[in-house]
Chains A and B, each alone.
Chain A
Amino acid sequence: MRHAFSVRIGPIGFRIGSDWRAPIATLETLYRNYPGPRDGVADFTVRLFARRPWRRFVRPSVEIGGDYMLPEAAPLPLRQGLLAAEMAMNLQMALGVRRYLLLHASAVERDGHAVLMTGISGAGKSTLATLLAARGWRFMGDEFALLDPATGLVHAFPRLISLKNEGIAAAEAAWPAARMGPLLRATPKGDIRHMVPDARAIATMDTPATPALLVFPRYGFAAETRPVPPAEAFVRMTQASTNYVALGEAGFRGLTGLIAQVPSVAIDYPDGASAIAQVEALWSAL
């Protein structure tokens, strides 16, 4: 394609091609401290393209494609090109990864042990991981935790952190020196701003961790903590994994192993500070 960029995030290599220079330039800047794909061969190809040639110039609109595509994926305006790239990369992960059980969760690590935080969009996965990282935890990822069914370890996937709405200010306050992408207003998911994970998160992204705690956070409620029974945790995680079915037996073994191994806890929280205190209290009690 006309413009291209390759990068490795955790164990996954991407090649991103684009009909426009702008999204590639943004990716080059924000991902400048990341390595390239192993052996120069990307796991996945992503394409940002104009449906019709004139759409490169007239009301340019970015179609999302690649090795794996969704027929109903709506195009985005060019000024949201970075979001298009990130969505396309997520799509390759969600539909293409076979080596790992993909958990829709953010993850932070301390002393080789990881806390996984899972929930629907808006539950606060990204914000919580970012705030915990500011308190000394190692940031492993804000979107996907990669569980290796063979070892039971989780691998980091520290892509750009996708901050949304109120989460943007909270993360900026916690990480005043962080490098940020452009503020993308009025996207399909509200206001979005991407933050580059801290240097340590990138430098240690090849180090996996042993899962120690599975948290189901929920934002906007009075602080409360309750244990989640294993059967419920299992079912919720099958829904929070995009490739659980595709992995077949390996996925089942991986997920039942995880649920048996770590406590599952639901936390409701009214604000970031409460959530941090709740997670760290759970951690201390382990």
Chain B
Amino acid sequence: MVRVVKDARVLARALADPASIAGLDADGWTALLAMARAEQLIGTLAMRVDGLAMPAAVKAILDDAREAAEHGRRAALWEAEMARRALAAVDCPVVLLKGTAFVAAGLSAGQGRSIGDLDILVPRESIDTVEAALLAAGWEWVKPDPYDDAYYRRWMHELPPLIHRERDRMIDVHHTILPLTARITPDPVALIDDSVTLENALRTLSPNGMLIHAAAHLFADGDLAGGLRNLWDIRCLVEEFGTDGLAADAGRHGLSAQVARSLRIVDALFGAGEATGIDRLYVRRVTARDGWGRPTRPVTRLAFYIRSHWLRMPPAMLARHLWTKFRKA
């Protein structure tokens, strides 16, 4: 069967319904693999279709991807352990976020997932102590620019990124889940209070907390780059934990609309749902990828890029920020 690959919906379908790969010919596979790599979902794809019939060349590529994801998982957990040791003397909860949290808790969202930086959430009142402890343990500033540094400290939901001088790995230390300049102000205290303690005393957000964070990151911040991977995270969390109490929790953080939207779009991409209205634009954006792994739909992408800045800060501040950045460029 020859299927014309129009966008990354074919990848979404392969993840949600692994049996759908049965119809792929060589070109279909090549396109699917290129897309999955570009969306950083090849490890996830490899886990999902493991054991199904496929050409030997494809199996070899996906075996490698699984191996690489396993190595990535080990490295991410090690990095979390390094942070745990560095922060052991600081008397505050340390909550793992995103990919590292998924693999630390053994969740399906972590299976085959690519993991970049280590993201942690700590109480805002502890942030100075945490920063000092990390600097003492070998992490260093990445951004030497004083404007960027000051901007992060005053307006962002995280410290300027730190990198470890020996392991070359980044850590993002959050004190809340959205920039302070955003119109929505989630309640980080409630997120930390609800967090779940792991065996090694590190924590993860509660299942609803993880869902809310993922939805906030996708729809209230950023330009939806890597959106397909984040939506897959949400899909796995919903499947594993359900949505009991999710609406109420989302309401507490002012993120009801974002959480509802993420569930609708997950259903449209990975389930039987059909996107309607403005949701169709979001689907258009997160599937904007062709069979060569190239980003497509430049106008849609640009619109979401502009929107991300609009969401992140009030107009006068945005103008000032862009002016400063422009002068420095």
Contacts and interface: CB of A to CB of B under 8 A. Distances in A.
Interface of A: 1, 13, 15, 17, 37-43, 45, 47, 49, 65-68, 98-99, 246-248
A26 to B, nearest CB: 20
Contacts of A38: 55-57
Nearest to B65: A98
Interface in B50-80: 55-58, 60-61, 64-65, 67-68, 71, 74-75
Interface of B: 25-27, 29-30, 33-34, 37-38, 55-58, 60-61, 64-65, 67-68, 71, 74-75, 292-294
B61 A43 contact: yes
Contact of A67 (B57, B60, B293): B293
Nearest to B294: A47
A99 B56 contact: no
28 contacts: A1-B292, A13-B57, A15-B30, A15-B34, A37-B57, A38-B55, A38-B56, A40-B25, A40-B26, A40-B57, A41-B29, A43-B61, A45-B33, A45-B37, A47-B292, A47-B293, A47-B294, A49-B294, A65-B294, A66-B293, A67-B37, A67-B38, A68-B37, A98-B65, A98-B68, A99-B60, A99-B64, A246-B71
A1 B61 CA distance: 22
A246 B68 contact: yes
B74 A248 contact: yes
Q: Chain B binding site: helix, strand, loop or mixed by DSSP? A: helix
B301 to A, nearest CB: 15
B35 to A, nearest CB: 10
Given A1-B292, A45-B292, A248-B71, A39 B37 contact: no
A221 to B, nearest CB: 34
B58 A41 contact: yes
Contacts of A49: 294
B292 A17 contact: yes
Q: Which 3 A-B pairs have the closest CB atoms?
A: A40-B26, A39-B55, A39-B57
Given A47-B292, A248-B74, A42 B30 contact: yes
Nearest to A42: B30
Contacts of A17: 292
Contacts of B292: 1, 17, 45, 47
A36 to B, nearest CB: 9
Contacts of A45: 30, 33-34, 37, 292-293
A41 B293 contact: no
A40 B294 contact: no
Contacts of B294: 47, 49, 65
Contacts of B61: 41, 43
A41 B37 CA distance: 14
A41 B34 contact: no
B74 A39 contact: no
Residue in A43, A49, A247 with the greatest tally of chain B CB atoms within 10 Å: A43
Given A45-B33, A68-B37, A248-B71, 11 more contacts: A38-B55, A38-B57, A40-B27, A41-B57, A43-B61, A47-B293, A49-B294, A65-B294, A66-B293, A67-B293, A98-B68
Contacts of A248: 71, 74-75
A67 B30 CA distance: 11
A279 to B, nearest CB: 33
A98 B64 CA distance: 6
A49 B295 CA distance: 13
B270 to A, nearest CB: 24
Nearest to B63: A99
A248 to B, nearest CB: 5
Contacts of A68: 37
Contacts of B75: 248
B55 to A, nearest CB: 4
Contact of B33 (A41, A47, A98, A247): A41
Nearest to B67: A98
Contacts of B64: 98-99
Given A39-B58, A41-B58, A98-B67, A67 B26 contact: no
A67 to B, nearest CB: 5
A39 B26 CA distance: 7
Given A13-B57, A67-B38, A67-B293, A41 B26 contact: yes
Contacts of A67: 34, 37-38, 293
A65 B37 CA distance: 13
Residue in A1, A40, A47, A68 with the greatest tally of chain B CB atoms within 10 Å: A40
Contacts of B25: 40
B28 to A, nearest CB: 9
B235 to A, nearest CB: 24
